[in-house]
Amino acid sequence: MIESEQVRQLAELMNEYGLSEILVSEGQSKLRLRRGVAGPVAVSWPAGAALPQTPGAVPAAQEASTAGASGEDDGLVPLRSPMVGTWYASPDPDSPPFVSVGSRVEPDTTVCIIEAMKVFNEIKAETSGTVERILVRNEQAVEFGQPLMLIRPG
């Protein structure tokens, strides 16, 4: 059983030693973490294994995303979370995501939902442009100020 704590520790190791990929096998379980530009991202799970239950279990990944993807020098504008909660890409589990990479957005476009205390808050893009990169995963815990996506203005 792969524990979320293990994922966190591996992500920290990667950051500490500047690794780009780690593959861990333990019995039937395999876990590969590969560093994307946005920081370490857990890539593969064996069929049937549960995703980490503890939200926010990868603080190192969040830090890496913040550090590597502040984006402002490439002209990209980060959309930062205005609240603490759980991030959802779609309005409900059966619908497609609000936006994906390449989507055109205006300031009032709803780009995601952040849920806190059973209230689902629609988050607006705040910028006109194109979604260049999405930095968080569905159902990930996000904190105040955390960059959620990068938008190329224009």
Give the neighbor-by-neighbor strand order of the sheet with 39-44: 21-26, 29-36, 39-44
Encoded one letter per residue, x for contact with other proteins by CB under 8 A and - for no contact, window 8-47 reads ----------------------------------------
Say whether residue 84 binds other proteins (CB under 8 A).
yes
What is the gyration radius of the CA atoms in the chain, in angstroms? 16
Burial of 75-88, coded b for 16+ CB within 10 Å and e otherwise, reads ebbbbebeeebbbb
Of the candidate residues 39, 52, 78, 85, the single one contacting other proteins (CB under 8 A)? 85
Structure-block tokens of residue 22: 């780690």
Of the candidate residues 13, 19, 49, 83, the single one contacting other proteins (CB under 8 A)? 83
Candidates 10-18, 98-106, 125-133, 135-143; binding stretch for other proteins (CB under 8 A): 135-143
Residue 116 pairs in a beta bridge with 119
Provide, rounded to whole angstroms, the least separation between the CB of residue 39 and other proteins.
17
Inter-residue contact 77 to 149 (CB < 8 Å): no
Name the site residues for other proteins (rule: CB under 8 A).
53-56, 59, 83-86, 116-117, 141-146
